[in-house]
Amino acid sequence: MDNAELDRQSIASRIRAERLAKGWTLKDLGAKVDVSIAQLSAIENARQALDVDLLVAIGRALDVHVERLLPRGRTPSVCITRQSDGRHLPMRMVNYSSETLTDYHNRLRPLADAVVGKYIEPFDIEVWPVVEGEMKFISHHHEEFLLVVSGGLECLIKTPDKVRREVLSAGDCIHFWSYLPHCLRSTGTAPARSIHVLCSLDEPADSELADARTGPVFLMDGMQRGPSGGVGARLQALRRRRGMRVAEFARQVGMSPRRMIAIERGEKAVSVDLLLEVCHRFRKPVEYFLASTLDVRPYYEVHRGVDLRQGGTRDRGPERRWPCFGAHRIVPLTTTLPGHRMMPSLLRLEGPRGHELVRHPGQEFIYVLKGSVRVMTRPGDQALVSTLSAGDTCFLDASIPHAFEQNQVTPYDPGHAEVLAVCWRPAWER
């Protein structure tokens, strides 16, 4: 049975259950939605497909929200990716000026592609060497964190005053504003490998796929803009994401299509009245449009692996905020970046936690650096236990009961596990 048949059966059973709960016959419901008994019977027996208009009419007649009649999304609450799963895919870029797809020199492997509605999006990226004249700068989402796993790479970031360069070795990490044009390239002749986590500004960070053979599409945009230019670019991105033509978008905010095109291109200034009207009509906070125009310093934060191995505390603060980790050593990886949305840390896990599963708002991603980790979750009525080895990852919705602990082979196992953990919580929980 395919997904379409499963969905049809789910909808049919929900409609039947709601009708019977009201004590109605097929004739009673049919009279309210102007549909024959035979047609309703076919719908309730999953023999006839529904259109949206009839589904909404049935929902109104039954006095239930239409979402109650629809099956739950198939996106998993927990997504485990093994080191051997999948392969690195070519990256494709959307050129901002030409609106065409172009190749990029790095390759990536999505680590939570099956999950829809991610506010943090993890990737395993092969960073390839590229000569100075062929570098392409990209910008996307709001912030990005990366940890170098092998090799060395150079991170170039176009800040408002200059291009800043940071050379990173295995074990080093950087957290930066990814709306600033940036480029990553290997410092050697072979590709480097790094684990990346992208974070949006309080909206899902799911990347669009170019096609079945390539990785997610990011905006290639190396231009430096003033405030109006930055807002114009965000307006254009919002319009495209809503699938709206320029004329329709312009009509909704009360201006001519020609002026809207000029604003999107950065040729006209954006009035405060327009900004507030767009925020009101499309239900976006002002910072959604202004965040990338602000000169937020520092632009990035770097931690060196050699320093991280010597640092770390038994700080109970992070553990109280993230009680699912019974960490014996916690090294926060972001301490100076103002207003960051995600919280990356290095954790050392030793032995069983000895605590119950916990739940809280947000999303979590872990990458096992060393040892073995047991992931315990309860997405439904049944508890699930998975074991992760070095190189494996787990992405989960933190609202389901869950916990992480070192997977001890024997009670006398003196070892420990080390993980990179990146956590995100909604704005009202920060």
Tens of pLDDT, residue by residue over 203-217, are 666 666 655 556 666
Average per-residue pLDDT in the chain? 85
Q: Cα(first)–Cα(last) distance of the chain, in Å?
A: 43
pLDDT attached to residue 216: 67
- pLDDT band at residue 316 using 50, 70 and 90 as cut-offs: very low
- Among 177, 194, 172, 143, which Cα is nearest to 424's? 143
Residues 300-324, mean pLDDT to the nearest whole number: 70
Residues 74-78, mean pLDDT to the nearest whole number: 77
Is the alpha carbon torsion for 403, 409, 414, 420 positive or negative?
negative
* Lowest mean pLDDT segment, chosen from 98-112, 148-162, 249-263: 98-112
- pLDDT band at residue 112 using 50, 70 and 90 as cut-offs: very high
Q: What CATH topology corresponds to 309-429?
A: Jelly Rolls (2.60.120)
The more confident residue out of 215 and 366 is 366
pLDDT attached to residue 296: 79
Q: Over the stretch 254-291, which tens digit does the pLDDT of each residue have?
A: 999 999 999 988 888 888 888 888 888 888 777 777 76
What residue type is assigned to position 18 of the chain? Answer: E
Query: How many angstroms separate the Cα of 392 from the Cα of each of 118, 216, 305, 375, 387?
Result: 19, 21, 20, 11, 9
pTM value surpassing 0.95: no
Alpha helices in 254-382 (DSSP H): 257-264, 272-282, 286-290, 305-308, 316-321
- pLDDT band at residue 1 using 50, 70 and 90 as cut-offs: very low
- pLDDT band at residue 29 using 50, 70 and 90 as cut-offs: very high
Q: Is 362 left (phi over 0), alpha (psi -120 to 50) or beta?
A: left
Please name the residues in contact with 306: beta carbons below 8 A apart, sequence gap of 6 or more: 171
Separation of alpha carbons 309 and 306, rounded Å: 6
Longest CA–CA span in the chain (Å) reads 75
- pLDDT band at residue 181 using 50, 70 and 90 as cut-offs: confident
- Among 216, 192, 33, which Cα is nearest to 108's? 216
Residue 193 phi, psi dihedral angles, 5° rounding:
-125, 140
What residue type is assigned to position 332 of the chain? Answer: P
Pairing label, strands 89-95, 217-220: parallel
Residues 187-207, mean pLDDT to the nearest whole number: 85
Residue 392 has pLDDT above 90, yes or no: yes
- pLDDT band at residue 321 using 50, 70 and 90 as cut-offs: low
What residue type is assigned to position 335 of the chain? Answer: T
Whether omega before 298 lies within 30 degrees of 0, making that bond cis, reads yes
Residue 247 has pLDDT above 90, yes or no: yes
Residues β-bridged to residue 182: 138, 157
Superfamily of domain 3-69: lambda repressor-like DNA-binding domains (1.10.260.40)
Contact 16, 26 (CB under 8 A): no
* Lowest mean pLDDT segment, chosen from 43-47, 92-96, 163-167, 377-381: 92-96
What b/e readout covers 79-112, taking b as 16+ CB neighbours within 10 angstroms?
A: bbbeeeeeebbebbbbebeeeeeeebbbbbbbbb
Contact 362, 424 (CB under 8 A): yes
The total of other beta-carbon atoms located within 10 Å of residue 189's CB is: 7
- pLDDT band at residue 430 using 50, 70 and 90 as cut-offs: low
Residue 364 has pLDDT above 60, yes or no: yes
Residues 10-24, mean pLDDT to the nearest whole number: 92
Residues 343-371, mean pLDDT to the nearest whole number: 88
Burial (0-12, 13-18, 19+ Cβ within 10 Å), 420: buried
pLDDT attached to residue 235: 86
Query: One fold for both 227-293 and 309-429?
Result: no
pLDDT attached to residue 204: 62
* Lowest mean pLDDT segment, chosen from 53-62, 321-330, 417-426: 321-330
Contact 198, 120 (CB under 8 A): yes
Where do the structural domains in the chain lie, given as residue ranges?
3-69, 227-293, 309-429
pLDDT attached to residue 221: 62
- How many Cα atoms are found within 13 Å in the side-chain-facing hemisphere of 24? 21
Residues 409-423, mean pLDDT to the nearest whole number: 81
The CATH class given to the 227-293 domain equals mainly alpha
pLDDT attached to residue 218: 67
Question: For a pLDDT cut of 70, what percent of the chain falls above it?
Answer: 84
Residue 343 has pLDDT above 70, yes or no: yes
